[in-house]
Amino acid sequence: MYGKRILLGITGGIAAYKIAYLIRSLKKQEAEVKCIMTPASSAFISPLVVSTLSENEVSVEFWNKETGSWNNHVAYAEWADVFLIAPATMNTVGKMANGLCDNLLLATYFSMKGKTIIAPAMDLDMYKHPSFLRNMDTLTKDGVSIIPAENGALASGLEGEGRMAEPEHIQSYLTEYFKNIVPKGAGKICITAGPTQEAIDPVRYISNHSSGKMGFAIAKAALIRGYEVELICGPTHEELAHPKLNRTNINTAEELLKAVQNCWQECDFGIFSAAVADFRPVNMSSTKLKKGSAEEVIGLVQNPDILKWASFHRDNNQKVVGFALETNNEQENALLKLERKNLDLVVLNSTQDEGATFGGEKNKVTIFDKKGLVCDLKLQTKFDVAVNLIDIIEKLDA
């Protein structure tokens, strides 16, 4: 379930209390979980529990009354790999089958391009009512998959078919579902990440504050989409393991260039997020510079521009994405880099943006192509930025 984006819709049935276990188990398996609840469901499970376990905000209404902002059902639908509605009550199933759209959960269902799966839950007479069976038939024809209810004790005190499938059965269903899905991505991506270190002497170097987190988030997003990834990174504490990942550790810009040159021909895209030191000392002292003997001036020589090299040594199908970290005249500088380095996209990071700090979990970026602004993303996790970036790169190909 690693990195799978599961949108969980919770409707108002007693089985809603079991959803806490499902969310926990999905999170343990490293799925991303966002939840939408119908207003009725919050009588059965608190949005606070759902939000805490899913580690995401929960939406119940079309409007967030506190902030006055819109809970965007289209954005939810675009985000999700799968929309799982569990428990799905008779009321919700009926509305889904008949095009009724009076809450956020339903509006999201009608906006979904990906798969919707439902796990119905109701009393046994409702579960076999002809009206419910007709609606289930309609939903099946509409492409919705159904995790059948199970037999056993019901909240009414009766016994029979109608209780929601146990969370572990829902989990197994999802695991099987994802096993059979072939990811969209086919091809190889070269990603550079982290800082470079340019040695002055055996104990000192020139470097910068880059943590490598953004580059690793891009690698993770690309792997989830099914790409093979050549991740070439400078010194970082970040870790990532995946059968389709080939990681090369480097220290200097020159080593970075060599590693890119080794793999570039086989790659379909290059995403160059490394913070490469522009200069290196002309000579590295073989012994530690002593206070008294140290030269006052360390001579510097310019490093190769790795991104520029890749961009000017590519065939027509290879796409190249660069980053631009700017402190002032941000847009102008980013567009100049796009042109000068012959890029398909430039991802602008501004030091002026609050929350987008070195080493932080979040980032705020604006993306431009040769025609101008592509999108101005709000502050979000580096992983979400990465997912958006991969979406945009895939559209470049079309």
Nearer Cβ to ligand CTP (269/272): 272
Angle (CA) 66 70 74, round 5°: 145
Q: Does 369 bind ligand CTP (CB under 6 A)?
A: no
Least Å from the CB of residue 288 to ligand CTP: 27
Give the length of the chain: 398
Does residue 135 carry a catalytic annotation?
no
Decide if 328 contacts 340 (C-beta within 8 A): no
- Scanning 45-53, 101-109, 164-172, 321-329 for contacts with ligand CTP by CB under 6 A, the matching segment is 321-329
Nearer Cβ to ligand CTP (9/322): 322
Nearer Cβ to ligand CTP (13/322): 322
Which of the residues 246 through 305 are near ligand CTP (CB under 6 A)?
253, 272, 274, 276, 278, 303, 305
- Scanning 175-183, 223-231, 318-326, 383-391 for contacts with ligand CTP by CB under 6 A, the matching segment is 318-326
Question: How far, in Å, CA of 221 to CA of 234, rounded?
Answer: 19
Contacts of 289 (CB under 8 A, 6+ apart): 200, 201, 204, 295
Q: Which of 208, 251, 333, 342 is catalytic?
A: 208
Burial environment of residue 124 by CB neighbours within 10 A (0 to 12, 13 to 18, 19 or more): middle
For strands 269-272 and 319-326, give the pairing.
parallel
Nearer Cβ to ligand CTP (58/307): 307
Give me 108's structure tokens. Answer: 């999201």
Burial environment of residue 290 by CB neighbours within 10 A (0 to 12, 13 to 18, 19 or more): exposed
Question: How far, in Å, CA of 350 to CA of 357, rounded?
Answer: 9
Q: Does 206 bind ligand CTP (CB under 6 A)?
A: no
Q: Does 324 bind ligand CTP (CB under 6 A)?
A: yes
Nearer Cβ to ligand CTP (10/276): 276
Q: Which of 208, 191, 196, 203 is nearest to 250 (CA)?
A: 196
Least Å from the CB of residue 260 to ligand CTP: 8
Among 109, 227, 323, 368, binds ligand CTP (CB under 6 A): 323
Name the residues annotated as catalytic: 208
Residues forming contacts to ligand CTP in the complex (CB under 6 A) are: 192, 253, 272, 274, 276, 278, 303, 305-307, 322-325, 337
